[in-house]
Amino acid sequence: MASPAPPLATLGILSIGDMGVGIARLLIAHNYRVITNASDRSQATQDRARKNSVDLVPTDIELCNTADYILSIVPPRDALAIAQRIATAFSNPDFDKTRRHPLYYLDLNAISPRLAREINDLFANSSPDVRLIDGGVIGPPPKLKEDATWYKPSVPVSGPHKLSDAQSSGKHLVEVLNMQHINDTIGSATGLKMCFAALSKGFTALAIQSLTTAHNLGCLPELQEHLKVFNPGAAKSVETVTRMSPKAYRWVREMEEIAETFEADGGFEREESIFRPVAKVYDFVAYGTELGQEKTEDRKRGKTSEDVAVLMSEGTARRKEKTE
Ligand SMILES: *[C@@H]1O[C@H](CO)[C@@H](O)[C@H](O)[C@H]1NC(C)=O
Ligand SMILES: *[C@@H]1O[C@H](CO)[C@@H](O)[C@H](O)[C@H]1NC(C)=O
């Protein structure tokens, strides 16, 4: 019996959430090996990794010793901590300094360019041999389509190092992951992700407030009719409110990262920084309304934009009662 071809390279993914699983599956389907360290994560997380053919390693040091590339794909609030973990493992005496290829660290998180620069400084000061690649993921997780081809999100990357120069199948990996190197500066790719996300998630927050208020005023059906005739693009886009609630808790920090981006890199003053309150809107969705408690696909309420307006309105009314 012919033995299977050896993997093209090994990638460590931290961590195996929805996006992590999608990217792991895409890589494994293209003959890469994917590993993760989930030793102190829940049984469900470990099972999910195994079920998707992701190999588990017990420590970060083994992860760094085995992987050619490490991909950080976590909620934005964990991005710095993950980089610190890897920098610590890399500086450990048990880290294999004789490895053949340099270790590439791809930060693919929804973070501000300022935080990306901080992560760059962290590696530059503690483990200068790690090659940091700044990146973002635009679009939903990769998925095998019915015609057996892959839908892939776009993965813009930036920084002084190019993945296409990496010896362990770097060129091929760039193609498989649909990556595009957009600039030699750390922060360009994360910045692109922030500017893109601002327009979609910012509009959704406007839609939440507009629909809720129209519901309270008894003019929601009329608002929707007028949108259809006079602003059909918006009529379509307001429907995004029906898909945001399972992700709202995660978007709170992402909106704060966008605010940070617009302030630090856009030059806008704190009082012009509209994404601070946008973060608060998603915080309220997640923790102040019934929408936030329904994180699964089988939720019963919040399926239409009218439902969302009703649930938001109930939430604001409850909050008002409490403060009166
Ligand atoms: C990964 O390994 C380290 C030991 O290097 C362990 O302390 C840590 O908790 C592990 N991380 C996770 C997320 O399991
Ligand atoms: C890269 O980004 C910098 C700003 O950080 C800009 O000045 C420069 O023109 C960009 N380079 C390219 C090739 O787009």
The pLDDT, as a whole number, for residue 5 is 81
Judge contact between 279 and 252, C-beta under 8 A.
yes
pLDDT value for 29 = 97
Measuring from atom 6 of ligand 1, which residue has the nearest CA? 59
> Measured from the CA of 158, which atom of ligand 2 is nearest?
1
Of 83, 255, 92, 85, the C-alpha closest to 186 is 83
* pLDDT tens digit sequence for 104-151: 999 999 999 999 999 999 999 998 889 999 999 999 999 999 999 999
Nearest atom of ligand 1 to the alpha carbon of 58:
2
- What pairs with residue 289 in β-bridges? none
CATH tag for 10-186 (out of 3.40.50.1000, 3.30.465.10, 3.40.50.720, 3.90.660.20): 3.40.50.720
For ligand 1, what atom is nearest to the CA of residue 15? 13
Cβ atoms 204, 244 nearer than 8 A: yes
Give the pLDDT score at 272: 96
Please give the model's pTM, rounded to 2 decimal places. 0.92
How many CB atoms neighbour CB 69 within 10 A? 25
pLDDT tens for each residue of 298-323: 556 668 999 999 999 999 999 999 88
| From 36, 39, 45, 66, mutation site for ligand 1 pocket: most ligand atoms within 8 A of C-beta | 39
Pocket of ligand 2 (CB under 6 A): 183, 185, 188
Residue nearest to atom 7 of ligand 1 (CA): 59
Q: How far is the CA of 263 from the centre of ligand 1 (A)?
A: 35
Residues with CB under 6 A from ligand 1: 37-41, 59-61
Mean pLDDT by 10 residues, the chain (324 residues): 80 94 97 94 90 95 94 96 94 79 94 98 92 97 97 98 94 98 98 98 98 98 98 96 91 97 97 96 94 64 87 94 84
